[in-house]
Amino acid sequence: MHLTLQQQTPALVVMLYLKLIVVFLVMALAKPAGGAMSLALPGCPDRCGDVPIPYPFGIGAQCAAVSLSSFFNLDCENTSHPLRPTVGGPADVAVNVADISLERGEMRVLIPVSYICFTSSATVSASNNNTVGFGLEDTPFLPSPGRNRFMVIGCNTLGLVGGFRGGTSQYLAGCYSYCDGASGASDDGAPCTGTGCCEASIPTNLTAFNVAFPINSSSVWGFNPCFYAMVAEVGWYRFQRRDLAGELGFINNRAKDGAPVIVNWAVRNGSCLEQRNYACVSANSYCESASNGPGYLCHCSPGYEGNAYLNNGCQDIDECMLREQDPKYEELYPCRNGVCLNTPGGYDCKCKKRTKSDGLSVSAVVIISLACFLAMQLQRKKHRKEKDEYFKQNGGLMLYDEMRSRQVDTVRILTEKEIKIATDNYNEDRVLGCGGHGMVYKGTLDDLREVAIKKSKVIDDDCRDEFVNEIIILSQINHRNIVRLLGCCLDIDVPVLVYEFVSNGTLYEFLHGGPDHNLSPIPLDLRLKIATQSAEALAYLHSSTSRTILHGDVKSANILLDDQRHAKVADFGASALKSMDESEFIMLVQGTLGYLDPESFISHVLTDKSDVYSFGVVLLELLTRKRALQGEEILVP
């Protein structure tokens, strides 16, 4: 049978209309792969120039979370080209913002480069020396130590960066770049290793910094008239020999708007444990502790995207739509030979028609997977409950209260997961040492700092208050010859303490040789320097802190040496409070035979005189290079 044209037309028209309706519905409901959702407060501008402005940031006080910090209020009325938001106050001190990341808790700002230029060895033609810096105290911002470096460009140039850590502790660092001519500098594109340019790391919790040149003279002004110094994002600058030539050539060619600096931002007035006045207001969101300084960040749960700081700001990701729009998502959200169906927080992959057996198999797999998932969730819930209990038992809540009441934020509280990542799950290759007080591992934190992680013995219930108080006291110690306590982990059965890493071994190894027993001559002045620095550290512990701290185990193995052979006293304080299963004698007196004060040995009581006696043995060890205990022979009978 043959249909006429008139008979075909109505059917074709209906089918065409149906197809068009489907297309329009898809286009109306489709969400662009890049995401068109505004991250700003409803009714507020979501960008300034080309820079997106996500809440809690905003243009104007009515659009920003000023209750969390007035510095979330940005300005978009400036003369920068291109137009950028500014943060920090009036236009003469405000800083341009190039990018804001909700996910990483980062903001990229542009800071002017410090420079000094010469027309002769002692004649300065242009300079902004000692005027370039960034004040961050009482703001939600801290420079990222892992994402920035202090950099100096020039030949025979010394640059310094100084400031404050935590608002009170002074900080100073620098680097020296050497080259006797442009041809002696590094090749173009080379990293800054000291010839033509150099770099140095910056610390955590840096609340203010200033960049400067300490010397106002130049012996290389003929081919290198200007020196430059800056804090800049890692990877932003690679050396170019042309940067040495011409007055302000580097700034004019590459840094007119300043150098990019990555600052970490967070909600600083609170923590994830305090759920009052919580900033994570969206459903399907969670809280994460800040990695640099106090406070927390808010994130959308897996399977959701958007802004966790806004009500209903976290929206479901349509994985199926993304698969259709961009082939790269097909690997991220696999559903080969199936029908993709979006679900809240995820998606399902259904079998196509006439593949019933496969569908049954998939259903069985889904049921089994669901059962495993529920079992894992129950296990995780149990594990979280255990971690919360450990945190409370080990004095975590008490420590938070003490830190708030004393306004102490120098101690970082890490999670068990962070400790395991830092130590490669307590890898034996990372063991630095072990003893009666526990194991010590070398670790690397997420900000790339190398640390010493001490896994100690179980804390005594009767000493928990004392243990927390001791952590507060130790965290406030600021002496160049004492190993600093950087943080702790309390959500596991055995508390873990995190100290600064000292790279050059112990005084014991230096005096008596390491495993290979190689002994090199040690100048007398170096021995006396080590003795003086160790004595200053003990004097500080005994008389310069808010409360006397007794070491209890002074010996050459507990005096560490850094790269410049400076002494740093280690393994004191909290270790004396972390014993539960041992006798009273071990609890009160934890010294090492050969160094132990005989009076303390008899009375079982530790005093400052005990430390002085043990240090006297160390002095003899330094002068004679004899071990305190050699076989059955004791250096001090």
Given pLDDT bands bounded at 50, 70 and 90, which one contains residue 270?
Answer: confident
Judge contact between 611 and 535, C-beta under 8 A: no
Averaged pLDDT for residues 602-618: 85
CA–CA separation, 219 vs 229, rounded Å? Answer: 18
Between residues 278 and 201, which one has the greater pLDDT? 201
For 584-607, the pLDDT digits (tens) are 333 344 567 788 888 876 666 778
User: What is the mean pLDDT of the segment spanning 455-477?
Assistant: 66
Query: pTM value?
Result: 0.54
CATH of domain 402-634: 1.10.510.10
- State the pLDDT at residue 33: 40
Domain ranges of the chain: 35-101, 107-265, 402-634
Task: Determine the Cα–Cα distance for residues 175 and 158; give it in Å rounded to an integer.
Answer: 6
Higher-confidence residue: 169 or 187?
Answer: 187
pLDDT given at position 149: 92
- The mean pLDDT of 611-625, rounded to a whole number, is 92
Given this model, what pLDDT does residue 181 score? 82
**553, 571, 597, 611: which is the annotated catalytic residue?**
553
Report percent pLDDT > 90 for the chain.
Answer: 31
Q: In what order do the strands lie in the sheet with 450-456?
A: 412-414, 485-489, 496-500, 450-456, 438-444, 431-435
* Predicted pLDDT at 539: 92
Phi, psi angle pair for 366, to nearest 5°: -65, -45
Q: Is residue 493 annotated as part of the catalytic site, yes or no?
A: no
Read off the pLDDT band of 515 (50, 70, 90): low
pLDDT tens by residue, 297-325: 999 998 999 999 999 999 999 999 998 88
Checking if the pLDDT of 185 tops 70, the result is yes
- Give the number of other Cβ atoms within 10 Å of residue 126's Cβ: 14
Q: What is the pLDDT of residue 474?
A: 75
The Cα–Cα gap between 608 and 108 comes to: 50
Torsion of CA 349, 353, 357, 359, to 10 degrees: 20
Beta strands in 8-140 (DSSP E): 47-48, 51-52, 58-59, 73-74, 86-87, 95-101, 106-111, 114-120, 123-127, 132-135
Q: Is the pLDDT of residue 18 over 80?
A: no
Q: How confident is the model at residue 17 (pLDDT cuts 50, 70, 90)?
A: very low
**pLDDT: is 49 or 631 the higher one?**
49
pLDDT score, position 12: 45
Please give the Cα distance from 596 to 615 (Å, whole number): 10
Q: Is 356 annotated as a binding residue?
A: no
Distance CA 386, CA 375 (A): 16
Cα→Cα distances 4→10, 17, 365, 402, Å: 11, 21, 52, 90
Structure tokens at 150: 């202090």
**Residue-level pLDDT at 394:** 72
Mean pLDDT of the chain: 80
* Model pLDDT for residues 339-380, shown as the tens digit of each residue: 899 998 888 888 776 555 455 555 666 688 787 777 777 766
Apex CA 318: angle with CA 314 and CA 321, to 5°? 150
pLDDT value of residue 171: 78
pLDDT score at 13? 40
Assess whether pLDDT exceeds 70 at residue 522: yes
Confidence of residue 630 (pLDDT cuts 50, 70, 90): low
Query: Which secondary structure element, helix H or strand E, spans residue 532, and what is its range?
Result: helix 524-543
Please say if the pLDDT value at position 485 is more than 50.
yes
pLDDT at 89: 55
Residue length, the chain?
637
> Quick one: pLDDT at residue 29?
40
Determine the Cα–Cα distance for residues 91 and 93; give it in Å rounded to an integer: 6
Residues above pLDDT 70, as percent of the chain: 78
- Read off the pLDDT of each residue in 608-637 and give the average, rounded to a whole number: 82
Specify the residue for token string 């010469």. 118
**pLDDT tens-digit map of 26-84:** 344 444 444 457 899 999 999 999 999 999 999 999 999 999 999 999 999 766 677 88
